[in-house]
Structure 1
């Protein structure tokens, strides 16, 4: 049986690919677990500096698989809690991954698929892509993704999207910060590859890791707590080997290859 998630590494970039194009890359327990394994693998791989999440076929991810939704109808509360916890752990893993995660969105990203986009650090999409959190239209709720979406685009915009369940086009997704760049389909792969290569060549891995950690952890602190935490992280960053190399290269007017 073909793997539902593919994993490959090229030039310090790990490519994690949803591989159920016949099912519009819909999510079920198998693909959620396979994604989690792939992201854990990328994080542990010392040869990987940046991760790209992409998909086969014309749809990035259509949300939950129909057969999977039907199965959930038979679960009791404890079974549903265990299942939803696995999705929670996947979203948390992607959001807090020690490496930058880029979403390469070649088609529609709906419901749980839009959730995957939400937790990635940077998102490139084709202009034709549609986005939306449509759970309310089937009597469900976008519970887990709501936490991340509030952080990403703010309460006002998040509330309207989550309560309406409407689909938005790529231009609107760009305007609210859900995605960061729109690229024509024939250039999408090359643009993402070039951006990932730039991060690998020009940026310190430890600096990107610490920056992601600060962003994830500082928002729930008070102003005073946040500033104290930021000062501690600043001091920690100064002690890294990357910082020593970077400052030395800057003072010596040398170009540093990371």
Structure 2
């Protein structure tokens, strides 16, 4: 079974996370599948707007911790190479000319919250929780910090990343992390209608050039920051706190910090 599903309907390219049994955790296969899917949709002339969605109860629970535990035995160079794969995916979604809308039907945590962050628009159900929870397991929310700070500012980014707290969909909308909150029974319809409105009312050329311009304004500093973040990500994986935190999570115990 493919970890990522794709289809095109009425000029909307749908990309679907398809690991519901693992709460759509970001495994290497899922990351690679998303990279391929977004590249394909970006190059497809039949697609004007992209919708990122997920199967199951969770939108995305973040990193696949079982795999992250394996990576702790990797060298720094191997971990850096792996970290850069997620960096490239986030940067692709954030920087590609086509508009990307996240349809968030469940919790978006850690790296999953990062996926929502790099989308241009995001709509969530009221019960969805958001949070950059990496500090709770001794990890560093490095890559997402670059995009989040650019999106909502340094003070709110610091508050979210250092606290590791869960926030509600309404709070996420208030902070500017997501675009809006939709009742569960109307989420799919609302996202589809919003995408259709962009397609029918706006020039694809103009939307693409506008998004590209916005991204180019801070591109040099962002690219430098992402490299530093990828290095911080790789180093954090080998730290004793990260090893302890992941082991505690997998064993369903609380780490003694």
Tell me whether 1:174 sits opposite 2:158 in the alignment.
no
Q: Secondary structure at the match of 1:16?
A: strand
Q: Secondary structure at the match of 2:25?
A: coil
Q: Deviations over 1:115-166 (max 9, x none)?
A: 0000000000001000000111111101011000001110000001001111
**What is the alpha-carbon distance in structure 2 between the residues aligned to residue 61 and residue 160 of structure 1?**
22
**What is the alpha-carbon distance in structure 1 between the residues aligned to residue 28 and residue 18 of structure 2?**
14
Q: Deviations over 1:28-86 (max 9, x none)?
A: 11100000000000000000000000000010000011221111111110000000000
CA 30–220 in structure 1, closer or farther in 2 if over 3 Å, else same: closer
**Equivalent residue for 1:24?**
23
- Measured after TM superposition, the shift of residue 98 of structure 1 is 1.4
**Equivalent residue for 1:55?**
54
- Counting only pairs closer than 5 Å after superposition, residues 208-219 of structure 1 correspond to structure 2 as 208-219=207-218
**Equivalent residue for 2:109?**
110
- Measured after TM superposition, the shift of residue 194 of structure 1 is 0.3
RMSD: 1.2
- Counting only pairs closer than 5 Å after superposition, residues 165-204 of structure 1 correspond to structure 2 as 165-204=164-203
Bigger Rg over Cα:
1
Q: Secondary structure at the match of 1:75?
A: coil
Q: TM-score, normalised by structure 1?
A: 0.84
**Equivalent residue for 2:150?**
151
**What is the alpha-carbon distance in structure 2 between the residues aligned to residue 216 and residue 89 of structure 1?**
15
More relative contact order, 1 or 2 (CA 8 Å, 6+ apart): 2
Q: Secondary structure at the match of 2:51?
A: strand
| Consecutive unaligned residues in structure 2, runs of 5 or more | 221-257
**Equivalent residue for 1:86?**
85
Tell me whether 1:75 sits opposite 2:91 in the alignment.
no
Q: Deviations over 1:181-236 (max 9, x none)?
A: 10011100000000000111110011000111111111468xxxxxxxxxxxxxxx
Alignment size in residue pairs? 221
**What is the alpha-carbon distance in structure 2 between the residues aligned to residue 137 and residue 152 of structure 1?**
23
**Equivalent residue for 1:140?**
139
**Equivalent residue for 1:45?**
44
| Consecutive unaligned residues in structure 1, runs of 5 or more | 222-258
